[in-house]
Every structure is written in structure tokens, then in C-alpha cells.
């Protein structure tokens, strides 16, 4: 429903309800109703609708919603009072027209006071509702906006396969064709697995840990063909990790990082060791690679890590951690801890966006 429809529905519905309640009260009090009561109430409601609509016009025109509450409250109160006074005068005029004006009663100061206070209160309640709705709506919009932004950012951070890797792999395979046809065939299969996964992953927020592991293994198989004896890989994967949901291509990115910034710079090559297990209800992934981590010194080295960190933050908030540090003077340890999710993860409950 559009905002303007909601507005008119509330205006007419709300004030009509108020009018009916008034008439009902008269009837209870006096046990009788005549047509002037009903007509008077009707005119009263029309006046309320008209005057509040006028107030809305002022609010919109003066852009009151942008004014700080400290200034807005006295302004709104003053407007409510002026409208209350106008409403009172309108009522007096109405009584006069109907010939029901009894000056000695109506013009008593206590009655004037109550006569103005009543409608002013109504206007005050109206303003309260109007601004509350407005702020609530704005807040809701900003939440939605944030969700959209998060979604876009996540899409952006999802790592694309490194083209360098793809072409180097293809080149190695080409060199392998004559030398070892069987091995080159399996290399082509590994490469197609990776390409297929990276194309499909764009659409998924989470995959099973073992699927991610399969990608990592395909990836390392290919890199082993390229680096040959310069790359040594070992795995230590706990059976408990089965079925745990992880963001796709995240581990692959970190392993690739380890090769790109570690192994590939070492003339003698080095090791990649992957461990995954459960500890304190968290999935713990350790990726060790030969080399040395130089914090901040290599600007081109940071993107994979920074993106991964941002991704974790967007998906898990504070409940996931990533650290990277030199474990010894020959080994870098990258560690990720993420909360265990087997069922639907919370991030999927974010408002759906087209």
C-alpha cells in the first residue's frame, strides 16, 4: 500500500471512529440523540480532517521532519494549540448557527479552557502518531537500504577466480598433454570443477564445508601440476565438519593467497597444510603456508584477506574471526573461526531484495 493511501485511511478511519465514539458517549449520557448532534459531530470530524490535513501540509512544506526534536516539539505544540483554538472557535460558531449557544455557560473561563484543551489534545495525539509513523517508516527504509547495501557488498566481495591461475593452469596442462596424457585429462576435470563451482557460487550464500573442501582440493591439484615438487600439500580434516555451512570460495581464496604470497615467492617452494575441526561450537579452519607474512607492506597482497574479513563481518557480525600471523620464521598461519551453522543461517533472514 502506498504511503498516501495509508494516510487517508488513517485520517478518515481514525477521525470517524473518534466521531462515533463521541456520539456513542452522548447517547449513553443522555439516552437520546437528535439530528443536530449527528450533524454537529459530522461537521466537527470534517473540520478535524481538514485542519489536520492543513497541518500535514505545513509539516511537508516546512520539511519539519528534518528539524531536530528539540526545536520540533515546541513548534508542533504551538501548532497544536493554534489549531485547538481554531477548533474551539469553529465549535462556538457552530453552536451559534444552530442557536444552541448559551453564553453564560460557554464563556466561563473553565469551559473556555476545557474547550481549547480538548481539541488541542486531539491535535497533539495526531501529531504524535504522524511523526511516530514517519520516523518508524524512515527507520524501516534505512534498514532495508542497509540490507540491500550488504547484499551488494557481499556479491562484490565474493572472490572471482584469479585469471592468472586459470591461464597458468591451462598452460601447464598444455605442457602436460604429451608427457602424461592421463594426468592432463584429470587436470582438465579439476579445472572444469573449479570453473563450474565458481560460476555457480555467485548464486549461493552458503555451501557445505565438504563442497568447499572439494574445490580447495581441485585447486591444489592443479597448482601441484604447475609447481610440481615445489608444492607439498597435507590435509587434516575432522569428520565432524561434515554438513557445516560455510561461505563459498572463502577457503579457496585463503589457500590461493598462501600460494600467491608464500609458495610462489620461494625458489625451493614449500608446504600448504590445511586443518579443519570443531572447537567450542565453532568451526576452526587453519591454513598454514611456507613463507613470511609482512603486515601491510605489500599492498597487492591485502585484497584477498581484507575481502575475506569484510565478508565474515557482513555474514556473521562479531561472531566470526580471522587472524593471520607468522607461526614461525618459515610458516604463516591463517585461522578462521566461524559459528557452526547446519540449518538456515541468520543472514538469509534478511529482507529479500529484488
Please report, as ranges, the residues that interact with another protein according to CB under 8 A. 163-164, 167-168, 170-172, 174-176, 178-179, 225-228, 264-267, 269
Beta carbon nearer to another protein, 173 or 347: 173
DSSP state of 342: S
Residue 286 CB, shortest distance to another protein, in Å, is 24
Nearest to 340, CA basis, from 157, 252, 201, 209: 209
Residue 176 CB, shortest distance to another protein, in Å, is 6
- HSE-up of 155 (CA within 13 Å, CB side)? 9
Beta carbon nearer to another protein, 176 or 322: 176
Nearest to 332, CA basis, from 284, 285, 274, 289: 289
User: How far apart are alpha carbons 14 and 34 in whole angstroms?
Assistant: 23
| Pairing state between β 321-326 and 331-339 | antiparallel
Beta carbon nearer to another protein, 41 or 223: 223
Residue 230 CB, shortest distance to another protein, in Å, is 8
Residue 297 CB, shortest distance to another protein, in Å, is 16
Residue 195 CB, shortest distance to another protein, in Å, is 15
User: How far apart are alpha carbons 222 and 117 in whole angstroms?
Assistant: 82
Residue 227 CB, shortest distance to another protein, in Å, is 7
Beta carbon nearer to another protein, 94 or 266: 266
Beta carbon nearer to another protein, 171 or 323: 171
User: How far apart are alpha carbons 226 and 305 in whole angstroms?
Assistant: 24
123, with CB counted inside 10 A (0-12, 13-18, 19+), is buried
Supply φ then ψ for residue 161, to 5 degrees: -65, 140
Supply φ then ψ for residue 190, to 5 degrees: -60, -45
Beta carbon nearer to another protein, 120 or 172: 172
Beta carbon nearer to another protein, 164 or 242: 164
Residue 164 CB, shortest distance to another protein, in Å, is 4
Sign (positive or negative) of CA dihedral 57, 58, 63, 67 = negative
Amino acid at each position: 500500500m502506498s504511503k498516501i493511501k495509508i494516510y487517508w485511511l488513517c485520517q478518515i478511519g481514525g477521525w470517524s471512529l473518534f466521531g462515533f465514539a463521541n456520539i456513542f458517549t452522548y447517547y449513553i449520557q443522555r439516552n437520546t440523540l437528535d439530528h443536530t448532534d449527528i450533524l454537529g459531530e459530522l461537521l466537527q470530524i470534517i473540520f478535524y480532517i481538514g485542519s489536520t490535513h492543513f497541518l500535514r501540509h505545513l509539516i511537508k512544506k516546512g520539511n519539519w521532519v528534518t528539524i531536530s526534536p528539540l526545536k520540533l516539539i515546541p513548534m508542533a505544540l504551538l501548532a497544536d494549540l493554534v489549531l485547538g483554538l481554531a477548533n474551539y472557535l469553529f465549535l462556538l460558531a457552530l453552536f451559534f448557527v444552530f442557536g444552541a449557544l448559551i453564553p453564560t455557560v460557554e464563556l466561563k473561563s473553565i469551559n473556555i479552557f476545557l474547550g481549547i484543551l480538548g481539541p488541542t489534545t486531539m491535535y497533539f495525539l495526531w501529531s504524535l502518531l504522524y511523526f511516530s509513523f514517519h520516523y518508524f517508516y524512515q527507520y524501516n527504509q534505512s534498514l532495508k537500504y542497509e540490507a540491500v547495501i550488504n547484499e551488494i557488498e557481499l556479491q562484490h566481495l565474493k572472490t572471482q577466480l584469479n585469471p592468472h591461475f586459470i591461464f597458468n593452469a591451462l598452460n601447464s596442462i598444455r605442457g602436460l598433454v604429451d608427457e602424461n596424457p592421463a594426468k592432463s585429462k584429470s587436470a582438465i576435470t579439476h579445472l572444469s570443477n573449479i570453473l563450474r563451482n565458481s560460476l555457480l557460487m555467485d548464486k549461493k550464500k552458503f555451501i557445505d564445508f565438504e563442497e568447499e573442501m572439494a574445490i580447495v582440493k581441485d585447486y591444489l591439484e592443479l597448482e601441484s601440476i604447475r609447481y610440481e615438487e615445489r608444492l607439498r600439500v597435507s590435509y587434516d580434516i575432522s569428520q565432524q565438519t561434515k554438513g557445516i555451512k560455510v561461505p563459498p570460495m572463502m577457503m579457496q581464496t585463503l589457500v590461493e593467497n598462501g600460494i600467491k604470497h608464500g609458495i610462489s615467492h620461494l625458489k625451493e617452494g614449500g608446504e600448504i597444510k590445511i586443518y579443519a575441526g570443531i572447537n567450542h561450537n565453532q568451526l576452526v579452519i587453519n591454513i598454514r603456508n611456507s613463507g613470511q607474512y609482512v603486515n601491510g607492506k605489500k599492498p597487492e597482497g591485502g585484497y584477498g584477506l581484507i575481502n575475506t574479513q569484510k565478508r565474515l563481518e557482513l555474514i556473521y557480525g562479531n561472531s566470526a574471526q580471522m587472524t593471520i600471523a607468522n607461526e614461525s620464521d618459515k610458516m604463516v598461519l591463517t585461522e578462521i573461526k566461524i559459528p557452526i551453522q547446519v540449518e538456515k543461517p541468520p543472514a538469509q533472514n534478511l529482507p529479500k531484495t529484488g
